[in-house]
Amino acid sequence: MLAELLNPQRIQLDADISSKKKALQELSRLFADSNSALNANLVFDALTDREKLGSTALEKGIAIPHCRITDCTRPLLAVLTLGMGIDFDARDDQPVDLICALIVPEQSTEEHLNILSALAGMLSNSDNCHRIRGCSDANQLLAFITELEANSPAYSDH
């Protein structure tokens, strides 16, 4: 299910980004560049507004920024890995270098929560995170998530 929300255009690996704001701007650009119905500035504003409610950083260098977007017609996922971690206001004060962003249509409340749960489940496994961080290109990362979901019923039931 997660692999269906992702495409190689929304995956950027080993990016040189120095701040949370710049990471959210880059994720917004990835969403807008891959979907003409989306405006990067509106996505950025929505992600930023959500961050103001509380950081979406988990622990161990991972963040899952997410929001609802009016012009979004179906859930979309973007993945950004960083060459060097950045401050994302994580509870464990660790720098974040693995960011999976999710945008969903305005009315997708339950689906939004189910996808977040699946993402958190996948990213709670340190081996999965290590493999994602080690991917050398977007297609390799997409193939890994597809394989992971095919072999793990826990990720595909959501």
CATH number at residue 112: 3.40.930.10
> What's the CA angle centered on 30, arms 147 and 127, to 5 degrees?
30
Active-site residue, 130 included: no
**Tens-digit pLDDT profile for residues 30-65:** 999 999 999 999 999 999 999 999 999 999 999 999
Q: Is the pLDDT of residue 155 over 60?
A: no
Mean of the pLDDT values across residues 140-148? 95
Residue 2 DSSP symbol = T
**Which pLDDT score, from 0 to 100, does residue 125 have?**
94
User: What's the domain range around 88?
Assistant: 3-156
User: Comparing C-alpha atoms, which of 39, 93, 46, 111 is closest to residue 71?
Assistant: 39
Domain count within the chain: 1
Q: Is the pLDDT of residue 158 over 90?
A: no
Q: What is the pTM of this model?
A: 0.93
HSE of 123 in the Cβ direction (CA atoms, 13 Å)? 23
Annotated catalytic residue within 66, 112, 130, 158 = 66
What is the rounded distance in angstroms from the CA atom of residue 87 to the CA atom of residue 80?
A: 15
